Structure 1
Amino acid sequence: MRMIALLALGALAACAGTTDEGPHHGAVGECSADAAQGLVGRAGTAELAAEALRLTGLRTVRWIRPGQAVTMDYRADRLDISLDDAGKVARISCG
């Protein structure tokens, strides 16, 4: 059930979309997670993902739970949001 909820959050965040406007750093589509670092420690919600996308100018979020297997492929348009066991953001990085 928890995994389904996280997948749903990721889907909502991916649908949030972004524009070229906003305080993101770097070229559009080029990952720079710096602008979203202020979100670390907050609850991992669809709203947080939408805010992270807006801040960074990226288009895709990948949620990562502790111990979860993830692919090693790098996508410049993807933001990785790592959650702790309590569902709070532990790390935001490019992915």
Structure 2
Amino acid sequence: MRNWLLLAPLLLASCAASENKNPGLDQLPPGSACTSTALDSFVGQPASADLGARMLAASHASKLRWVPFGAVIMMDFSPMRLTVRLDQQNRVASATCG
């Protein structure tokens, strides 16, 4: 019984340490995550590889996710991802980080 009492703090500490599913994401240096301030100018433009590259450069994101009209997507958050929603004509409807 005494051995269990000695191990209890270690077990609790390991559980607390494993709660953070994305270690380091809250410690990103400033300016390294996606920023959506310059993305409004892309709304209405037809989707293309060139447009995606320009949007990535403008947002400083490292990943791009195109979302076709009516598509269902996972709501997981990634601070380095740019999510671009398209309308029925395959034009940019909105662009947000995450």
Q: TM-score under structure 2 normalisation?
A: 0.66
Matched, 1:27 2:38: no
Question: CA offset at residue 57 of structure 1?
Answer: 1.0
Do residues 92 (structure 1) and 92 (structure 2) align? Answer: no
Q: CA RMSD in A?
A: 1.1
Alignment partner, residue 67 of structure 2: 64
Q: Which has the higher contact order (CA 8 A, sep 6+)?
A: 1
Name which one, 1 or 2, has greater alpha-carbon Rg: 2
Q: Which residue of 2 aligns with 1:51?
A: 54
The aligned amino acid for 2:46 is A
* Helix, strand or coil at the partner of 2:40: helix
1:37 to 37, 40, 55: 40
Q: Identical aligned pairs, as a percentage?
A: 30
4+ long deviations beyond 2 Å: none
Q: TM-score, normalised by structure 1?
A: 0.68
Q: Distance in 2 between matches of 1:41 and 1:67?
A: 17
The residue type paired with residue 84 of structure 1 is D
Q: Secondary structure at the match of 1:42?
A: coil
